[in-house]
A and B are shown apart, each in its own frame.
Chain A
Amino acid sequence: MRRLFVLPTSRAGWGLLAAFICLVMAGIWPVIGLLNRAVLVFGLPLMIVWSYGVIFACVGVMLIGNRIVERDDHE
C-alpha cells in the first residue's frame, strides 16, 4: 500500500493532467519572467493580457475536461 498512488488511468486523463500542469506553469516563473516587459498589447499591459489569457485558458481546459469525464461516465 505504501507505493500506491492515484494517477490518471487513460491517455485522455494524462492529457488533462498535462494541460493542468501547463496552465499552472503559464502563470508562474519562469514563464512570467519571459513576459515581464513594459509593453502594451490591445491597449493593456502585457502582464494583464497574459493573466487573463491564462484565466480563460483555464475555462477552455475545464470545458474539454467536462467532455472527457462525461464521455467516460464517471465522477
Chain B
Amino acid sequence: MNSVWPLVITLGYVAIAMVIGLKARAGRRMDTLEEWGVAGRSMGPVVLYLLIAAGSVSAYTFMGAPGWAYSKGVAVFYVAVYLAYLALVAWYFGPKVWQFGAQFGHVTQASAIADRYQSAALGALAALVMAVGSVAYAVLQTVGSAYILFVMSGGAIPVWLGVIIVLASIALYLYISGQRAIGRTSAFQGALMLVVAWAVGLWAVHSATGGLDMADVFKRIQAEHGEFLTLPGARGDMSFSFWTTSIIVSMFSFMPPVWTQWMCASSARTIRRSATWLPTYYVVILPMVIVGFIGIYSLPDLARADTVVLEYAMANLPVVLVGLLGAGTLAASMSSSEPFIHSVSLSITKDVLQPLFKLSDALTAKLARWLLLPVMALVIAPLAIAEPGSLVMILLVGLGFASQVLPAFIGMFFWPRASKLGVMAGIVAGFMVTVAFTTLWSHPLGIHAGFWGLMLNLPVFIGVSLMTPATQADVVERFFRIAAPRGLKRLGKQTSDKSASTNAV
C-alpha cells in the first residue's frame, strides 16, 4: 500500500480527538476529583450511552473479533451476548452506584468498598489489584493503537513512536479535561466506529460477492466450512461450558472504569435510560465479524488471524476506506484505554495514596492528574513497546481477579451480613484458584478459571462472614436504604418481612 491517504485520515482522527478532548473542559476548573474524576456527575443519556458503548468496544471488535470468526467461527458471538448482559447489570446496579456516589461522595469503586466495609485496607487492596488488570488492558489497547499507526504509515511510524504519539495525545486531554474528555471523545469515537464498521463490512461483502447480501457469504461458508457455524468452532476449543462460564464470569466482572462511568451520569434515571438502549450499539460487531468470515475462504493462509480485516481491506478496499478503518480501529483502542488509564490514576491516588499519607482532598485531586504522567511514561509505554509475552496472561489474571471481587458487591447490594474479613477471605481464595487455573492448569474441564475461582470464593465468603463481626449497623443501614429502598426479606420465611427493613439491619 503506497498511498499516503490512510495515514492522513488516521492522523486526522487523532487530531480531531485531541481538539474534542481539549475543548471538553469548557473553562471549568479541574481541581476537584468530583469534576476531574466524574465530570461533576453531569452526563446526559446520549453521551453516557456512547461513553459506555465506546469503552466496551475495544480494538478487539475491529481486530480480535474478526480474527476469532476467521479461526473459530460463530463462537465469537459470546462477546456480543455478554456485552448485552453487562447492560442488564448496568441497568440494575448503575442507579444504585450513582446514588452511593451522590450521597456518600464516592468517586471510585474502591472508595465504595472501603466505605461499605469501613476498611481503608480493603479499599486499597481492591484498588491495587484492579490496577493490575486495568494497566494490562490499557497496554494491550496501546499496542493495538501503535500497530495501526505502523500499518497505516507503511512502517514509517515504528511501534515505539506510535506508542508515544497515542499516549501523548491521551495524556494531554486527560490531564486538561479529565472524565469530560473521555465522555466527549467517546461520543465521537462511538459514532465513528459504528459508521466505519458498517461501511467496511458492507464494502467487503460487495467486493466478495458482488452484492450487499450477507447471506451469500454464509451460504458459501455453510457449503464449504460448516464447522464455523457451530460450537465448538473450527478449532474445537470453544465448548458449551467455556461459552457459558465465560459469559457468567464476564457479567460479574465489575471493572472500575465502568463503575466510575455510572457515577458520571446526571441522575439515576439517566443511567437506566442509557443502559436500556446500550445493547443496540453491539450491531457494530456484526459487519466486522463478517469480514472475518469472508477471510476464511479468501485469505486462507494468514499467519495472524487478528490481521484478517486489515489484510482484506488493504487488498480489496479503496484507500479512503482503509484510512477510515485505521481511524475506526484507533478510535476503538483509544476509547477503551482512556477510561482504564484515568481510572488507575484516580483510584491509586484516592484509595491508596490519600489514606496512606493523609492527604487533603485538594492535594489528592492535583496528584491524581499528575499521576497520569508516570503511569503512562513509566508503566504503560515501556510495557507497550516491549510487548512482553506474558501480557495477555497478566490481563487474564487481572480480569479473573475482577470477577473475584464479586463478594464485595454482594455485601453492598444484597446481603447486609457480609463482613470485611469474609470479603477478604473470599477474594484471596478465589484469586489463588483463578491464578492457578489460568497459569498452571488452564481452564480445567473447559470451564473458565474465574468460574472455578468463584466456586471456592463464594462459600468461603459466606462462611467467614458468618463467623466474623459484621460492619457497624449505621453504615450498613445507609447503604441498604439505597440498595433496598423497600426493605429486606428474611430468607426461609414465606412472607415479606417489612419489619426486617433497614431499621433491623
Contact = CB atoms under 8 A, between A and B. Distances in A.
A6 B360 CA distance: 36
A74 B486 contact: yes
A36 B230 contact: yes
Given A1-B417, A29-B240, A51 B222 contact: no
B282 A55 contact: yes
A65 B484 contact: no
A51 B218 contact: no
A4 B486 contact: no
A52 B84 CA distance: 9
B80 A1 contact: no
A69 interface: yes
Nearest to A16: B92
B91 A27 contact: no
A54 to B, nearest CB: 6
Interface in B226-242: 226-227, 229-231, 240-241
Interface string A16-38: 00001001100111101100111
Given A47-B74, A75-B95, A55 B279 contact: yes
B496 to A, nearest CB: 6
Contacts of A58: 84-85, 87-88, 279
Contacts, number: 156
Q: Which of A39, A65, A75 has the most CB of B within 10 A?
A: A75
A63 B120 CA distance: 38
A62 to B, nearest CB: 4
Nearest to A28: B244
A23 B82 CA distance: 11
B492 interface: yes
B491 A54 contact: no
A48 B230 contact: no
A6 B497 CA distance: 11
B490 A4 contact: yes
Q: Which of A7, A48, A69 has the most CB of B within 10 A?
A: A48
B247 interface: yes
Given A9-B496, A23-B88, A4 B504 contact: yes
Interface stretch (B28-36, B321-329, B361-369, B408-416): B408-416
Interface residues of B, number: 69
Q: Which of A30, A38, A46, A61 has the most CB of B within 10 A?
A: A38
Contacts of B488: 4-7
B121 to A, nearest CB: 23
B214 interface: yes
B474 to A, nearest CB: 13
Contact of A3 (B273, B486, B490): B490
Given A38-B222, A45-B74, A51-B80, A4 B489 contact: yes
A52 B80 contact: yes
B480 A6 contact: yes
B240 A32 contact: yes
Nearest to B91: A62
Q: Which of B81, B222, B226, B244 has the most CB of A within 10 A?
A: B81
Nearest to B268: A75
Nearest to B414: A6
B85 A1 contact: no
A4 B505 contact: yes
Interface of A: 1-7, 9, 20, 23-24, 27-30, 32-33, 36-40, 42-48, 51-52, 54-56, 58-59, 61-63, 65-66, 69-70, 74-75
Interface of B: 74, 77, 80-82, 84-85, 87-88, 91-92, 95-96, 99, 213-216, 218-219, 222, 226-227, 229-231, 240-241, 243-244, 247-248, 251, 268-269, 272-273, 275-277, 279-280, 282-283, 286, 413-417, 466, 470, 476, 480, 482-492, 496, 500, 504-505
